Amino acid sequence: MLIRQESVSDKMALKDLPSTSPLPNASLVLVFGSVKRFSDSKLAGFLKARYPAAQIVGCTTAGEIGSNSVHDDSLQITAVFWEKTVQRATHVKVNGMQSSFETGEQLARQLKSDSLKAVLAFSDGLNVNGSELLKGLQSVLGDTPIVGGMAGDNAAFTKTLQLFNDVISDNLVIAVGLYGNNLVTASGALGGWKPYGPPRKITKSNKNVVYELDGKPALPLYKMYIGEHFAKGLPVSGLKFPFAVIGEGKEVETVRTLLSIDPSNNSLTFAGDVPEGETVRLCQTNHDRLVEGAAGAAGMVNSHLTEANMHGQGLAICVSCVGRKLVMAEQVADEIKAVHQILGPQTILTGFYSNGEFSPRPNTTENALHNQTMTIGYLTEDLYS
């Protein structure tokens, strides 16, 4: 496995990169950047000419992740050459949020194989129900690990874009299947959010749209708890006050990010499902808790790797939530530095701040949509298997 990276900063143009790419025979190229960068009509052609043998995939972000830093309005380009692993890339245009499950099924059928070891998935960040998408993928692929996330647009909640070779468009879901016994994978996911306020029962919802809490209209109740100041900034301010779904043991099972509100019916729309009957509480956090969560996710990755796997070069795809970035503000790179310190200098980091994160739940084989979470999908090759 060979990995090479290029970065186009906010002050650079594509033409400012060296004339030749650092890995022209790359198999896979991951590209994360701002909406402005992805709106450049020359981008897809430029990348294909630079990496002619590669499948090129990526999406827009709420911030781009490098090995020790976080960027805005940049392009982070990571080229991978597989020495033994086989890959297959595909994509589907989504017809609306209600077709998310069927989209997952369709992608999974194209990737299914006995030798499939992992899937990388990147989706539109506003028009996809991430929970349903993963359910559709899992209905065909079982417990194959799925890592990636939902595209961002710097918390504008207007339009996200996805890249698949020569196509740049919204409403895409992209999946890359990775095959063969030489591939080594590991994952970690941890948040750092703490619930506050009284528990509330979801008494009326439809998948990811919540209409009532404890029999009362959801939006006015939510506004009351976050206060008048933050209520004026919805839905963006809602990124700082996600829902925690509370299990029977009063532990946080899932965190859900607010995507939009609808004053006409007092509803709240989240990035993933919040089923009727679930108990939820609002969450809040601080910088130190979030950094500890990111470090904990990196520790989970290390715990699943052997000593031999940790010495060779590896790629960590980090997908963290836009809400975490808003809380940490100028100190957001601290969580990336914590991850890199734990995974070690042999690990190359890439990724983005998202509207939702895909990763197996900790210590399980169940893939889940996470919100407000640092998720890490780690890939390397064992050439002697």
Domain boundary (268, 284, 300) is at 284
319 and 238 assigned to the same domain = no
User: What is the mean predicted confidence (pLDDT) over 280-297?
Assistant: 92
226 and 371 assigned to the same domain = no
Average pLDDT, whole number, for the chain?
A: 93
User: What is the mean predicted confidence (pLDDT) over 255-277?
Assistant: 91
- Please state the φ and ψ torsions of residue 330, each to the nearest 5 degrees: -65, -15
Using 50, 70 and 90 to split pLDDT, how confident is the model at 152?
A: very high
Q: Is the pLDDT of residue 320 over 80?
A: yes
153 and 35 assigned to the same domain = yes
Using 50, 70 and 90 to split pLDDT, how confident is the model at 249?
A: low
Q: Is 363 helix (H, G, I), strand (E, B) or coil?
A: coil
101 and 204 assigned to the same domain = no
Residue 257: what pLDDT?
84
Q: Is the pLDDT of residue 256 over 80?
A: yes
User: What is the mean predicted confidence (pLDDT) over 259-267?
Assistant: 95
300 and 173 assigned to the same domain = yes
CA dihedral over 351, 357, 360, 366, signed as positive or negative: negative
Q: Measured between alpha carbons, how far is 57 from 52 in angstroms, rounded to an integer?
A: 13
Residue 385: what pLDDT?
60
Q: Is the pLDDT of residue 363 over 90?
A: no
The one-letter amino acid at 81 = F
37 and 106 assigned to the same domain = yes
Sorted by sequence, the CB contacts under 8 Å of residue 190 that are 6+ apart come out as: 293, 294, 296, 297, 300, 362, 373, 374
145 and 280 assigned to the same domain = no
Residue 251: what pLDDT?
64
For tokens 């970065």, the residue is: 7
Residue 349: what pLDDT?
98
Domain boundary (284, 308, 323) is at 284
169 and 231 assigned to the same domain = no
pTM for the whole structure: 0.90
Q: Considering its fold, how many domains does the chain have in total?
A: 2
Q: What share of the chain has pLDDT > 90, as a percent? A: 80
280 and 307 assigned to the same domain = no
User: What is the mean predicted confidence (pLDDT) over 222-246?
Assistant: 91
Q: Measured between alpha carbons, how far is 172 from 179 in angstroms, rounded to an integer?
A: 23
Using 50, 70 and 90 to split pLDDT, how confident is the model at 244?
A: confident
Instruction: Tell which phi-psi region holds residue 214, choosing left (phi > 0), alpha (psi between -120 and 50) or beta.
Output: left
Helix (H) or strand (E) holding 309: none
User: What is the mean predicted confidence (pLDDT) over 18-45?
Assistant: 97
Residue 2: what pLDDT?
96
Residue 311: what pLDDT?
67
Partners of 358 in beta bridges: 148, 369
Least confident of 100-104, 309-313, 326-330, 343-347: 309-313
* Structure-block tokens of residue 222: 């939510």
Helix (H) or strand (E) holding 271: none
Q: Is the pLDDT of residue 284 over 90?
A: no
Residue 253 sits in which domain range? 194-284
* Structure-block tokens of residue 275: 């089923």
74 and 39 assigned to the same domain = yes
167 and 46 assigned to the same domain = yes
Q: Is the pLDDT of residue 319 over 80?
A: yes
Check if the beta carbon of residue 190 is closer than 8 Å to that of residue 362.
Answer: yes
Q: Is the pLDDT of residue 253 over 80?
A: no
User: What is the mean predicted confidence (pLDDT) over 27-33?
Assistant: 98
Residue 58: what pLDDT?
98
pLDDT digits (tens, 9 = 90+) for 54-106: 999 999 999 999 988 999 999 999 999 999 999 999 999 999 889 999 999 99
Domain boundary (233, 258, 284) is at 284
248 and 298 assigned to the same domain = no
Q: Is the pLDDT of residue 310 over 70?
A: no
| 342-360 per-residue burial string, b: 16 or more CB within 10 A, e: under 16 | bbeeebbbbbbbbbbbbbb
